[in-house]
Amino acid sequence: MTVRSRPTSPHLQIYRWTITMAMSIAHRATGIANYVGSALLVLWLAAAAIGPEPLNVVNAVYGSWFGQLVLFGYSWSLFHHMLGGLRHFVWDFIEMMEPGQREAIAWANLVASIVLTLLVWTVFVWVH
Binding site for ligand HEM (CB under 6 A): 27-28, 31-32, 34-35, 38, 81-82, 85-86, 88
**Min CB(22)–ligand HEM separation in Å:** 13
Task: State which residue, 25 or 50, has the beta carbon closest to ligand HEM.
Answer: 25
79 in Cβ contact with 108 (< 8 Å): no
Please give the C-alpha separations between residue 104 and each of 14, 44, 66, 99, 101, in angstroms, as whole numbers: 24, 38, 34, 9, 5
Task: State which residue, 58 or 109, has the beta carbon closest to ligand HEM.
Answer: 109
46, 59, 116, 124 alpha-carbon torsion, rounded to 10°: 110
- From CA 45, how far away is CA 26, in angstroms rounded? 28
**Min CB(31)–ligand HEM separation in Å:** 3
**Min CB(39)–ligand HEM separation in Å:** 10
Residue with smallest beta-carbon separation from ligand HEM? 85
Count, residues in the chain: 128
**Min CB(46)–ligand HEM separation in Å:** 17
- 52: how many CB neighbours lie within 10 A of its CB? 10
Task: State which residue, 86 or 111, has the beta carbon closest to ligand HEM.
Answer: 86
Task: State which residue, 27 or 71, has the beta carbon closest to ligand HEM.
Answer: 27
